[in-house]
Structure 1
Amino acid sequence: MKPSKKPRTKSLPQLPHAKVSYQPPPNLRELMGTRIGEIKTNYIPYPDARDNNYTFSNSADTSCDDKEGHYVVRPGELFANNRFEIKKMLGQGTFGKVVSAHDHKNNETVAIKIIRAVPKYREASKIELRVLSTIKKHDPNNENHCIHLRECFDYRKHICIVTDLLQISLFDFMENNNFIPFPGSHIQAIAKQLIRSVAFLHDLKLIHTDLKPENILLHDSSFSKKPYNNSAYSKILKDPLIQIIDFGSAIFDDEYHSQVVSTRHYRAPEIVLNIGWSFPCDMWSLGCILVELATGETLFRTHEDLEHLAMMEKFLNKPMPLHLVNECYSKNEKLAKEKTNVELCFDPKTGKLLFPNKKTPVRSLKTVNSILSLDELISSKIGMKINYELTLEENFTVNNIKRLSKDKYRFWYYFIDLIKQTLTYDPNKRLKAIDALNHHWFDLGIYDEGTI
């Protein structure tokens, strides 16, 4: 049930980030007519290299790489012919490693993504460089919260991507804060920035495909401490300004789509069902992230398709639409060689999800049974019962909401509405980023730890 429109609430505080509107890139259609081609990386010769005409093989360069082609990071090491001094490793993934380093040329500290010295990862990095260059070209002032490429170079068989050095991720901040939920005002500010970022990327015909708290960094992780639940202290960010990072999996919509993308917990149903995916998958991931910020808990903590689908049905309190199940059967029958068997999760006649079945572990059954619906989950976190099947005014009456609590109740009621529209099964009916920017929730303010 769609809530009735309410007038803008100007008397309640909002953080500045929640008020900034999105401005699409000027002359976008004209600019997008010419797609950025392959980005050339400057080759930096290594003085001790015996042969610049290097041929890749299974054996790594033992002087700097491990057996998998990762660069061996040594804090204090001079890198790229003494221009950079490596400070510490920030992270490691399949693609390679990210380090912080002091740039002696510009006298500042930066982040360097050191791609593995393996041909397929070097080749994949070329796509990321095209994506980053496209973002910078159409947003030179970085108004849309997507990390900017500073430069790139090729050193000792490693493609190196240099960007600004930011601070910790939203996930790291939550972990350091004992996974205490963010204040509603901060969730709103982060949501507005994220949606602006996604709208910008989608305008550029780009899909991020891997939005998650680990890939959202803070500009400033400083905080104040405020009481929480009368027995603990919560860390409250002084400024929830964010930046989206890791475009290693991003693609242009008209280019090759791999079958599976996104980290499992943030993976959209169309990806799980193997029926094809596009821009809407980013909005599903965004909805999962916002719920996580509001609850402190990963929404779909699973690694298995059937359990994942069962968790979706329990949380959204509705079954998978039959037309999507039918499409799943149709698509997967045509992909015999790449058969995922996800269609076997459903009854072919009724489309009903076959969960639990005889092989379902007790652990899985308990996990799914513990899932609350969206209304129940948010209600449990804010201490106010919300029934989204009722109108806002009906909720006020049924739940005896006092006048002083109505603004807070209204804020979370419309938050639930936003989440329901982003976590819609059918990607064709899912809320688009450009439309989400005008959602009524962004007209509402709230008194909480982030605004008082």
Structure 2
Amino acid sequence: MASESSSNSHILPQNHEPTYAKKLTQRHCLNLNRNVSDDLLLKTERRKDMKNDSLQNSELDISNLMSDSRKKYSSDDLEKNTDIQKGDVIKNQFHMLQEIGRGSFGQVFKAMDSHTGKLCAVKCIKNISNFKKLAEEEISVLLFLMQQDKNNDYNFLHLRDHFSTDKYTFMIFDLLSVNLYQLIYRNNFRGFAPLLVRKFVRGILNCLQFLHKNQIIHCDLKPENVLLEHPGYTKVMVIDFGSSCFVGQNVYAYIQSRFYRAPEVMFGSKYGTPIDIWSLGCITAELLTGTPLFPGEDEQDQVACIMEVLGLPCSSVMRKIRRLHHFFTDSGEPRYLAERAEQHQTKINGNNRPRRMCRADPGALSLEVLLKSSLGDDGCDPMLTDFIARCIRWDPMKRLTALEGLQHPWVTNGDVSDHDKIKESPQPGGTQPSEGSAISSSLEE
């Protein structure tokens, strides 16, 4: 086990007040709500995950599967049906047990493979618009990566099978446990101890160094796309390669979820593997604090959030911005500062409803202060702050590479095992922990 003392083995530092929001900056307190119209869909999908998550680990009555009244699907049947439903049988093999995800692309189901008797996840992509092409590209990327990872050493979810009908493309995966966002949710949006976060980060870096070595950019790294391999254990797996591309093939301008979107993507500049490292830095901070590091309401506000912490971009970055006027005035002033002054004047004139949250001056906040607001002075390791800071530099060429990240002193410190048991925190009165209870990051021997 790690040499770190047991006093550091809890999610929150010792003596951390339960009413942790009191210690947060005003910015973080306001951001806890995240009640913004532009994020409504994201919040809705996340809440759906919460409702369905408890089903992933529930025991199944297999005797009910074969007697379900729903018919089995042929390609003709699929053509006539809008959605796949619970109880449907695909390819006379996969019994749909519960929808666990949904998007414009289609659905994801928890299913039983009747040939093996094992649970699996079935991703059902509609063969319409560009979805079929995206599915084919995701399958192609996964098959390529799997050829290089025959022993499943690199923390990404392998594709078990795939096939198509007239209406859908199906992708079959092993069923994993909760994602990191769900874990944060279960912990009441409190951060985890650095010991536990380091184990998650090490697994993500192991995946990224493998992807980047093979010239692949994930393009959508976020807490929802990093899952525990098994319930209650620290090993994580990266999923969802639907947006992935090879280096130099920047097909899409609109990629990455906003909170984790690298500046060069928003600026319209060329991008590469460093955009995944930016996302990792944001995820690391969120795992530690329980709230997003840069919670922008739209792209302009996202850049404003980044400027609050990092200050203005350096000249070498500014020269490469293709959407300069979207974020800066003709005089070179950040637009959010000009809008803030305008909002202040509007408030003086009697209109108290700002268009978006007011942001501080560039560089007014520091990463160290934001981390200390959650971790406390004792819990905020300078090497941890250094690791995150090196991930979120304006200049992508100055960020850590994934390999350098694996060699960073904060990452290499402590136990190298990434498959430890996460123990549930005991509840008052000796009761069993509920689904939403705090989770201890104590690791069993």
TM-score, L = length of structure 1 = 0.71
Q: CA 1:192/1:75 → structure 2, altered by over 3 Å: closer, same or farther?
A: same
Distance in 1, Cα, partners of 2:298 & 2:278: 18
2:90 to 73, 79, 90: 79
Secondary structure of the residue aligned to 2:170 is strand
From 55, 64, 88, the equivalent of 2:81 is: 64
Matched, 1:355 2:366: no
On the 8 A contact 2:73/2:89 being kept in 1, the answer is no
Q: 1:46 to 1:304 in 2, by over 3 A?
A: closer
**1:94 match:** 104
Q: Contact 1:275/1:327 (CA < 8 Å) preserved in 2?
A: yes
Task: Measure, in 2, the Cα distance between the counterparts of 1:48 and 1:449.
Answer: 47
State the secondary structure of the residue aligned to 1:106.
Answer: coil
Report whether the alignment pairs 1:266 with 2:265: no
SS in 2 for 1:383: helix
CA distance in 1, matches of 2:75, 2:252: 39
Match of 1:305, as an amino acid? E
Counterpart for residue 401 of structure 2: 432
2:275 — aligned with what?
A: 281
Partners of 2:151 and 2:142 in 1: CA distance: 14
1:378 to 347, 371, 374: 371
When Rg is computed on C-alpha atoms for both structures, the one with the higher figure is 1
Say whether the 8 Å CA contact 1:190–1:240 is kept in structure 2: yes
Runs of 5+ consecutive residues of structure 1 not aligned to the other structure: 1-9, 16-44, 51-59, 66-71, 223-238, 333-341, 385-404
Which is richer in helix?
Answer: 2
Q: Distance in 2 between matches of 1:117 and 1:298?
A: 34
* CA contact 1:117–1:158 (8 Å) conserved in 2: yes
Query: Against the structure 1 CA distance between its residues 154 and 366, is the aligned structure 2 distance closer, same or farther, given a 3 Å change threshold?
Result: same
Counterpart CA distance in 2 for 1:449 and 1:219 is 16
3-state DSSP class of the match of 2:337?
coil
1:428 CA displacement? 1.2
CA distance in 1 between partners of 2:74 and 2:88 (Å): 15
Structure 2 counterparts to residues 111-190 of structure 1, below 5 A = 111-190=121-200
Give how far 1:260 is off.
1.9
Structural mapping, 1:326-365, within 5 Å: 326-328=319-321, 331-332=322-323, 342-349=324-331, 351-358=332-339, 362=354, 364-365=356-357
Trace 1:101-116 onto structure 2 (pairs within 5 A): 101-116=111-126
Q: What per-residue deviation string (whole Å, max 9, x for no partner) do you get for residues 276-303 of structure 1?
A: 1111000000000000000000122223
Q: Quick one: percent identity of the two aligned structures?
A: 28
Following TM superposition, by how much is the alpha carbon of 1:257 offset from its aligned partner in structure 2, in angstroms?
2.5
User: What is the SS of the residue equivalent to 1:450?
Assistant: strand
Give the counterpart of 1:299 among 264, 287, 293: 293
How far apart are residue 119 of structure 1 and its match? 4.4
Q: What amino acid does structure 2 have at the position aligned with 1:424? A: R
State how 1:6-25 maps to structure 2 within 5 Å: 11-12=3-4
State the Cα distance separating 1:122 from its structure 2 match. 0.9
In 2, are the aligned partners of 1:185 and 1:451 still within 8 Å (CA)? no
Cα deviations by residue, 1:187-244 (Å, 9 ceiling, x for unpaired): 000111111111100011100000000001112333xxxxxxxxxxxxxxxx211100
Structure 2 CA distance for aligned equivalents of residues 204 and 440 of structure 1? 25
User: For structure 2, which runs of at least 5 residues remain unmatched after alignment?
Assistant: 9-71, 344-352, 416-439
**Given the alignment of the two structures, is residue 255 of structure 1 paired with residue 249 of structure 2, yes or no?**
yes
Cα offsets for 1:147-169 (capped at 9, x unmatched):
10111011342110011110111
Distance 1:11 1:162, change over 3 A: closer
- The count of corresponding residues between Structure 1 and Structure 2 is 344
**Corresponding residue for 2:29?**
none
Give the 3-state SS of the residue equivalent to 1:297 in structure 2.
coil
Say if 2:73 and 2:88, in contact at 8 Å, map to a contact too.
Answer: no
Q: Counterpart of 2:63?
A: none
Which of residues 309, 315, 318 in structure 2 aligns to 1:325? Answer: 318
Deviation at 1:47, TM superposition (A): 4.8
State how far apart, in whole Å, the 2-side matches of 1:149 and 1:206 are: 17
Q: What residue identity is the alignment partner of 1:141?
A: N
Answer yes or no: is 1:366 the counterpart of 2:358: yes
